[in-house]
Structure 1
Amino acid sequence: MLPVILGADIGVYALARAFHEEYGVRSIVVSGAALGPVARSAIIDNVLLGPDASPVDMVDRLVQLAGEHPGRTLVLLANSDWLVRVVVRHRARLEPHYVVPFLSEDLLDRIADKATFAEICAGLDIDVPRTIVQDFAAAGEAGWAPVDVDLAYPLIAKAASSADYQDVHFAGKKKVFEIADQAELDALWASLAAAGFRGRFVVQDLVPGDDTQMRSITAYVDSRGEITLLCSAHVLLEEHTPSGLGNPAAMITQRIEPMLEQARRFLRETGYVGFANFDVKVDPRDGSYRFFEVNPRIGRNNYYLTAAGANPMRFLVQDRVEGLAVEPVVVEKEILYSILPPRLLLRYVLDPALHAKVRALIRAGAVAHPLRYYPTDGSLARRAYVLAAKLNQIRKFRRYYPTATTTGF
């Protein structure tokens, strides 16, 4: 078996590490550059694409790469939405050479659209923030007017489909807008219409609460349609840099059954196959679990599963490579997953009970950092990078998410 993984971030390294821990195999990582998380690794062989490589160029290189390893079972993984889309769209070229454990293109298109995702969830009695859809298809015609929005301010506005939004340009463009009042919403609608946007935008109720209200779910659905792996986690702190906004930086694995049951319903009823990663927030107003989106991949912070004793690559390989039916697992073990220095994390966890739990897990040594794979992958260069990355988190939080508790960093 030979894992081939697309990308170069911390989640890609975590997948390579999971393969190595379970099967002792090195992985090939295909990317535009060997970034810090995957550079100088003893468990990775980097294959670099040209800086101007197109998706078709990448697929061409993958086909060529398969020819360089005859007799091997190649397992293809990607860990970002756009790369998953490239693989799914070119499945016909790739599947003769690779195991391609992803959902269908039709389902991918449906769940990638935030408006459609909300509609699917509503039909399955899965909690989502209240959502209003603004369709700009006729925005260039005389007499067009946006629909009324009767949500309380502040509220959230975002493109239903990133594919419809990525090539639209206007002053103040953001991935997600927090709208303070009607005037701001009117200005956003005018900017979108004038910029030629003709897709759909969703406006949603703003679920209150800080990062500790967030939850994460990772699932694997096998080729038979069975949900063989489920793991949930309580987020403690997210990243707040513009490029990493919303990515969990620290969380505790925890079985949250009412939330997992809603995820099961979604996966079963949609005919989902492969890995899925749900972003969920607890609504403090009623205690409900509000599902924001599902990512058609395992997720950037996937190492929390391996650290909690449920290496996700085992479920994938036994299903797609060995053809075995795997006994379903719901993770129970609590571990602290964190890419932060402990003192930095503890400064931000203000809830006394959560603070005490974090300290107890640290004292017990139940802490996992995906890049700390020592001594297996512990060269001086790797250790220096991991230390620098952790220290860099202090600088980033001081700049982008300062709080009264961070004095003295």
Structure 2
Amino acid sequence: MLDTGVPVLLARVGNYPLHHGSLGVVRTVGRLGVPVHAVVEDRFTPVALSRHLTSAIVWRTTGREEPERLADGLLSLGRRIGTRCVAVPTDDEAAIVLAEHADRLKECFLIPPAPPGLPRLLACKASLHRICAEAGVPSPSSRAPESRDELVDAGRELGYPLVLKNLAPFSRLRTPAVSGTTTVVPTERALLARFPGAVPPPVLVQEYIPRQQAEDWITHLYCGAGGVPLVLFTGLKLRSWPPYAGMTARAVALRNAELAVLAERLCRRTGYSGLADLDWRYDRRDGQYKLVDFNPRAGAQFRLFENAHGVDVVRAMHLDLTGRAVPDGEQAEGRVFVAGQLDFASAGAWLRRERRLPSDLPHVRPTERAWLAWDDPVPAAAEAMRFTGRVTWRLLRPEHPGRAARA
């Protein structure tokens, strides 16, 4: 089905060796005979050990580099491979570099024809909120304060508790305002204690939608030229890690026509072209699906979704950029994605908070696992070893003297 003469480069910026979405990219096209080259942190990451990988390219980046230098590095990698590749980004920074430097990078890579500055605008939480308002797509009330006074005003206007997020790609790596994806602060005192300086780091302050009044949904899609979705999938997050705010730990593919209409409207209005992973929160208080995040790249759980022809978003991208038709078909319903240890941790957190096991555990069998695959077992073993080692190191490392004194 795919053109096996056109390889894929897995493009990454930053240090995240235990990323199951990257392994999903390698497997989904590698199983069909497409050569896959991947940027990796070292030669023993789970991705680097996949039997479906053609070559692992060690290129360590932090995201603190200037985008021009990152584009130079990608161009060097493309010339080393020697054959024009489909570049698949698995983080927002890589997607932005590919879009904003497409004129140069097209020498070595096939890149969707998105407006160059659009991925950065969509990935930035503040500009996304403005774009949603213009497109008629609901999103949570948000502010991007630039001073301590504006921070206080935002909290009083939106009310407590508040959600804090890193404002934009690159700044989340250079000057992170919060660790992880989302932090909830209960009071103004807690907010000001977190940001004692006169000028806070780049941060988004967002209204809190109580989890008891919410459902978390996802949309994964690939758009061709002009923002026309060639595949579009919707699903329900069952659990996440950290709980209620982090990466998808378990999800199920469910067709949601209203959500699909909103996602397509946004992409057509903006002219977005490429891969996208959208996070939504359904607010039962007003009956609206509110767009929380727009990630212009392959989502970590994209293998949850296929259409009736077995086409996922990465396969659709390869088909489109190599001039082949993307088979149209209904979304495969009921597929279940499980993210390994994250799922165990999320189930444990659910049990602790709800005083009962999640209802899906005894009844729902995974269709797609993030790490474990019988035709490619080594990455799962490598992930388990590195994950266990990381947890053990955190438990056994000496306590910081200042932390001990404060205790």
Shorter-chain-normalised TM-score: which range?
A: 0.7 to 0.9
Query: What does 1:167-182 correspond to in 2, within 5 Å?
Result: 167-168=174-175, 176-182=182-188
Q: Identify the residue that residue 318 of structure 1 maps to in structure 2.
A: 319
String of CA shifts for 1:221-270, please: whole Å, max 9, x gaps: 012532111111211221229xx971111111111222221111111111
In the comparison of the two structures, how many residue pairs are matched? 376
2:229 corresponds to which of 213, 227, 230: 227
Task: Evaluate the alpha carbon distance shift between residue 36 and residue 57 of structure 1 in structure 2; reply closer, same or farther with a 3 A threshold.
Answer: same
Amino acid at match of 2:230: T
Name the SS for the 1:150 alignment partner. Answer: helix
Q: Do the aligned partners of residues 340 and 383 (structure 1) sit closer, same or farther apart at CA in structure 2, a change above 3 Å counting?
A: closer
Shift of 1:286: 3.5
Given that 1:212 and 1:237 are in contact with CA atoms closer than 8 Å, whether structure 2 keeps it comes out as no
Aligned to 2:267: 267
- Maintained 8 Å contact 2:88/2:298: no
Alignment of 1:361 onto 2:371: no
Partner of 2:20: 10
Is residue 2:196 matched to residue 1:183? no
Conservation of the 8 A alpha-carbon contact between 2:90 and 2:298: yes
Q: TM-score, normalised by structure 1?
A: 0.77
Partner amino acid for 2:38? V
Describe how 1:91-170 pairs up with structure 2 within 5 A.
91-101=102-112, 103-136=114-147, 147=153, 149-164=156-171, 166-168=173-175
**Is the 1:236–1:349 contact (alpha carbons within 8 Å) kept by the matching residues of 2?**
no
Per-residue deviation, 1:12: 1.1
Alpha-carbon deviation of 1:3?
Answer: 0.7
Matches within 5 A, 1:6-405: 6-7=11-12, 8=17, 9-21=19-31, 23-44=32-53, 45-49=55-59, 54=65, 58-70=70-82, 72-101=83-112, 103-136=114-147, 147=153, 149-164=156-171, 166-168=173-175, 176-187=182-193, 190-191=196-197, 193=199, 197=201, 201-209=203-211, 213-240=215-242, 246-306=246-306, 309-324=310-325, 326-340=326-340, 355=358, 357-362=360-365, 366-375=366-375, 377-378=376-377, 381-382=378-379, 384-385=381-382, 388=385
Aligned CA distance change for structure 1 residues 187 and 102 (closer, same or farther; 3 Å): farther
Aligned to 1:105, the other structure's residue is in SS state coil
Is the CA contact (8 Å cut-off) linking 2:233 and 2:305 kept in structure 1?
yes
Q: Contact 1:336/1:358 (CA < 8 Å) preserved in 2?
A: no
Unaligned stretches of 5+ residues in structure 2: 1-5, 396-407
Secondary structure of residue in 2 paired with 1:300? coil
Show the counterpart of 1:406. Answer: none
2:403 aligns with: none
Identity rate of aligned residues, in percent?
19
Give the match's secondary structure for 2:210.
coil
Query: Secondary structure in 2 aligned to 1:43?
Result: coil
**Partner deviation per Cα, 1:94-146 (whole Å, 9 max, x = no partner):** 1022101363332123222212211221233322112234244xx7xxx9896
What secondary structure is seen at the aligned counterpart in 2 of 1:128? Answer: coil
The aligned amino acid for 1:315 is: A
Q: Mark the CA change 1:343 to 1:276 in structure 2 (over 3 Å): closer, same or farther.
A: closer
The answer as to whether partners of 2:220 and 2:233 remain within 8 angstroms in 1 is yes
Whole-Å separation in 1 of the counterparts to 2:329 and 2:182:
35
Q: Deviations for 1:17-58, whole angstroms, at most 9, x for unmatched residues?
A: 11023x312310023323532132211110112578956565
| Structure-2 change in CA distance of 1:174 and 1:332 (3 Å) | closer
TM-score by length of 2: 0.78
What's the CA shift for 1:64?
3.7
* SS in structure 1 of the partner of residue 371 of structure 2: coil
Letter matched to residue 119 of structure 1: R
CA contact (8 A) 2:306 2:332 kept: no
**What amino acid does structure 2 have at the position aligned with 1:191?**
G
Q: Decide whether aligned partners of structure 1 residues 306 and 391 sit closer, same or farther in structure 2, where only a CA change above 3 A counts.
A: farther
8 A Cα contact 2:216 2:237, kept in partner: yes
Partners of 1:84 and 1:296 within 8 A in 2: yes
1:158–1:274 distance in 2 versus 1, CA, 3 Å: same
Decide whether the 8 Å contact of 2:220 with 2:276 is kept in 1.
yes
- In the aligned structure 2, how far is the partner of 1:382 from the partner of 1:329? 31
**Structure 1 residues 169 and 291, CA gap change in structure 2 (3 angstroms):** closer
Instruction: Tell me the amino acid that sits aligned with residue 239 of structure 1.
Output: W
Give the deviation of 1:272 after TM superposition.
0.8
User: Equivalent residue of 2:314, what SS?
Assistant: helix
Deviation of 1:383 (Å): 5.2
Q: Please tell me the root mean square deviation across aligned C-alpha atoms, in Å.
A: 3.9
Q: 1:204 to 1:94 in 2, by over 3 A?
A: same
Write the letter of the residue equivalent to 2:79: G
Is the Cα contact below 8 Å between 1:372 and 1:386 reproduced in 2?
no
Query: Does the residue aligned with 2:211 lie in a helix, a strand or coil?
Result: coil
- Following superposition, the deviation at residue 302 of structure 1 comes to 1.4
